[in-house]
Amino acid sequence: TCHHKFKISFSGCPIDCFRTTEMDLGFQGQMEPKWNEETCVGCTLCAKACQEGAIVSNKDGKPVYDASKCIYCADCIRVCPTESWMEKRRGWAVRVGGKHGRHPLAAFKVADLVPGEKTFEIIQKTVEWYKENGIGRERIGETIRRLGVEKFKEDVLSNGSKT
């Protein structure tokens, strides 16, 4: 098999300057927040800063957090004047199968909050998976669309992986 391109990108923040959604494999920095109720003064800055609607203020100004809406951007942590929002976990969102150009494809998000020490293992397993499964000049996104994102996740991200 002769694969002709494989682009990898790392982007440290939610603005995604290095276009992880348009790369064969992309890693985007994430930070999961946790809230300390005792130090919160109810200023509502966190709710105003959260563009995803993951934090809204109750009638007392205290935040109500909906983890299902959180993109782990850490805006709430950065804006909090009392440090009531803190880092719980730091890691990387993993995206695979994107490309830009004449026929762009959006990457699949396959994992959240992956520890930094796992990124090189994921890169290695992804390249091995692509070598084994890609056909001709097919890009990895096309391979994933042909075989299914669940197969990719099972083969590359699961602990019982054969690759």
Q: What is the pLDDT of residues 111-126, one digit of tens each?
A: 999 999 999 999 999 9
- For 6, 10, 141, 149, 151, the CA distances from 162, given in Å and listed in that order, are 21, 26, 20, 16, 12
Q: Is 145 helix (H, G, I), strand (E, B) or coil?
A: helix
pTM: 0.88
Note whether 8-29+92-157 and 31-90 share their fold.
no
For residue 102, which phi and psi values (nearest 5 degrees)?
-60, -40
List, for residues 5-41, the tens digit of each pLDDT value.
899 999 998 888 889 999 999 999 999 999 999 999 9
What ranges do the domains of the chain cover? 8-29+92-157, 31-90
User: Which is more confidently placed, 4 or 67?
Assistant: 67
pLDDT digits (tens, 9 = 90+) for 73-117: 999 999 999 999 999 999 999 999 999 989 899 999 999 999 999
**What is 31-90's CATH topology?**
Alpha-Beta Plaits (3.30.70)
Please give the share of the chain, as a percent, with pLDDT higher than 90.
85
For the domain spanning 8-29+92-157, the CATH number is 3.30.413.10
